[in-house]
Amino acid sequence: MELLVELVTFVLIGLAVAGVGARARKAVARRARARTASASGGNLVPVPCQARWKQGARRRFFGYGKLTPDTDGTGAVFKAPLRRAVAVPVGGRAAVRQSWRPGMQVLEYSTPDGRNIDFQVYDAEVDRAARFLRIPDPADFA
């Protein structure tokens, strides 16, 4: 009998967690769509993301922050809280793959100078992040 009670409790907790996770993903997707709609109106809206790149020998930087175009419009900037802004070279190549987190994709960006930077962004904001980084559209070369 105790085993049945524990099993039912485990199932109920699992259902509650799944429901909370689904509501959280919907809220995040709704906010991402609102940011994209605001940006289409001409507003400058940063793209929240995670960035990861190699920095120095055997050191990797990993942090949450926002990707924005540079103030002069010639580049992109990644700004993490409590850290100085990092200029990101634009015009490189990118590949997009699914993330392990639902509702997100990884933009694997190769800069023109050979560095590799991974940006984990929401599904609705991959195109805006690519625009900020000025990634050439492959269809332009066909």
Residue 141 has a pLDDT of 39
Q: Does residue 11 lie in a domain region?
A: no
Question: What is the phi/psi pair of residue 76, to 5°?
Answer: -130, 155
- Higher-pLDDT residue of 73 and 85 is 85
What is the CATH number for 75? 2.30.29.30
Rounded mean pLDDT, 85-113: 85
The domain containing residue 126 runs over which residues?
Answer: 44-141
Residue 142 has a pLDDT of 39
By the 10 Å C-beta count (0-12 exposed, 13-18 middle, 19+ buried), 1 is classed as: exposed
- Structure pTM? 0.69
Q: Are 54 and 75 in contact (CB under 8 A)?
A: no
pLDDT digits (tens, 9 = 90+) for 27-50: 767 777 776 666 666 667 788 888
Rounded Cα–Cα distance for residues 76 and 86 (Å): 9
Total structural domains in the chain? 1
Q: What b-and-e string marks burial along 10-29, b requiring 16 or more CB atoms within 10 Å of the CB?
A: eeeeeeeeeeeeeeeeeebe
Quote the mean pLDDT of the chain: 78
Residue 55 has a pLDDT of 66
